[in-house]
Structure 1
Amino acid sequence: MAIEVHPATVLADVAAVVGPKRADANVCWCLSYRLTSSKENLALRGPARGERVAELVRQSPPPGVLAYDGDEVVGWAGVHPRADTSFATNRKIPHVDDLDVWSVWCIRVRPGHRKQGISHHLLTGAVDFARSNGAPAIEGYPVDNDGAKVDLTMAYVGTRGLFERAGFRKAADTDSVLNGFPRVLMRLDLR
């Protein structure tokens, strides 16, 4: 398996990983943290969510990266400047300093491709993407699960261990809890 990670510029591939099975379904589309306004996030319903993602995919830089096994898209990581996300104003996730850091908030691997190390490729790809776009540092906000199993629906934030293996270090505790586990702010300096 030769996994390659590329910027998320193909809407159909983004939809294959984070989109709904039905166009009218109200699924996340990985917009919950990407939008800076919770009002906009709540207002977008059904097909409007996919239309908003289509706009983001056409922007430079696009809203994340995709992992491919050959021609097949197998995973997604949401990564963008923190200023363009809800983490810019999130009261539970602290700001370590005033750097214009990037955030990686979602790592998703398609069913049938899990437990093959693809999340590691996605996180490395997210780091490379942020670095290539001039980010001075990148942050993630995974759960500190100490090896305990994380419910699959909540595993999208990653685990502290995943981030540590990618070279991130704990920069701060947070007031955020997901699936009963505290979330920590993990950071990697890119300078």
Structure 2
Amino acid sequence: MDEASVRIVPANQASWEDVEAVFDTKDYAGRCRCQRFKVVGWIWRDSTYDERVAMSQAQTACGDPNAASTSGLVAYIDDEPAGWVAVEPRIAYPKLRTLRVPWSGRDEDKDDAGVWVVTCLIVRKGFRGRGLTYLLARATIDYARERGARVLEAYPMITQPGKEITWGELHVGARQVFEEAGFAQVHHPTPRRVIMRVDFEA
């Protein structure tokens, strides 16, 4: 991919129509809308699709460049909306407090607003297989640092050739994507998941 053709902006500087174009897919991302770690209870049982869309629209603050916060970044390729990455303070994701991956074997303050997280990467159909997730992961570093993050964290999967990953599991990203972006592995809580971080105070 020619990086000169790629532009990545905070979601509040994009239009809601552009975000919708990225999420307009029949797979996991289109149904979840990056609400998996935000809704109360089990995502499919305790929230409706329309509720998740409304939550996403409110969180992105699309079309409001002066918004106090937004929930991610939107990537454009030749001015076409092509990708999304969710990046926010960890405290924006209530369900992360109860999951094994972020906390198994670690003793950290779950309410530390200085820790930001990357929870989801999406590439629109028609733009996949061109390396856009690598650029999105890299963009989260400067974005989080500039907004006062002390640490940026991700929970990617270890992919293995020939081994199928189902149910949208890879929405968290692959380990090699974050390695190339400059994240360092700090923990390996499950056979297929790692915790990777960028420490801005190091």
Task: Give TM class, smaller chain.
Answer: 0.7 to 0.9
**Structure with higher helix content:** 2
Q: Give the Å deviation of 1:42.
A: 4.4
Alignment match, 1:63: 71
Displacement of 1:61 in angstroms is: 1.6
Aligned residues: 181
State which of 176, 182, 189 in structure 2 corresponds to 1:161: 176
Change (3 A) 1:183 1:73: same
Q: Would you say the 8 A contact 1:19–1:29 is kept in 2?
A: no
Matched, 1:113 2:127: yes
**Change in CA separation of 1:19 and 1:37 when aligned onto 2, cut-off 3 Å:** farther
Query: What are the Cα deviations for residues 82-120 of structure 1, in whole angstroms up to 9, with x where unaligned?
Result: 111122332332156345311101111111111211111
Aligned partner of 2:18 in structure 1 is 13
Alpha-carbon distance in 2 for matches of 1:43, 1:20 = 21
User: What TM-score does the superposition give when structure 1 sets the normalisation length?
Assistant: 0.83
Mapped partners of 1:32, 1:79: distance in 2: 14
Bigger CA drift: 148-157 or 161-170? 148-157
Equivalent of 1:101, from 101, 115, 118? 115
Q: 1:132 Cα deviation (Å)?
A: 1.5
Q: 1:81 to 1:42 in 2, by over 3 A?
A: farther
Structure 2, gaps ≥5 residues long: 62-66
1:151-172, Cα deviation, whole Å (9 max, x unpaired): 3733211111111111111111
The unaligned stretches of length 5 or more in structure 1 are 176-180
Shift of 1:27: 1.1
1:31 to 18, 30, 35: 35
Q: Which of 84, 92, 117 is equivalent to 2:92?
A: 84
Q: State the alpha-carbon separation in 2 of the partners of residues 111 and 162 from structure 1.
A: 19
Tell me the equivalent position of 1:178.
none
Which whole-Å CA distance do the structure 2 matches of 1:170 and 1:17 have between them?
Answer: 29
Q: Does the 8 Å CA contact 2:101/2:193 hold for their aligned counterparts?
A: no
SS of 2:32 mapped into structure 1:
coil
How far is the alpha carbon of 1:16 from its aligned partner? 1.5
Identity of aligned residues (%): 30
CA contact (8 A) 2:7 2:79 kept: no
| C-alpha RMSD over aligned residues | 2.4
Q: What one-letter code is carried by the residue in structure 1 that aligns with 2:79?
A: D
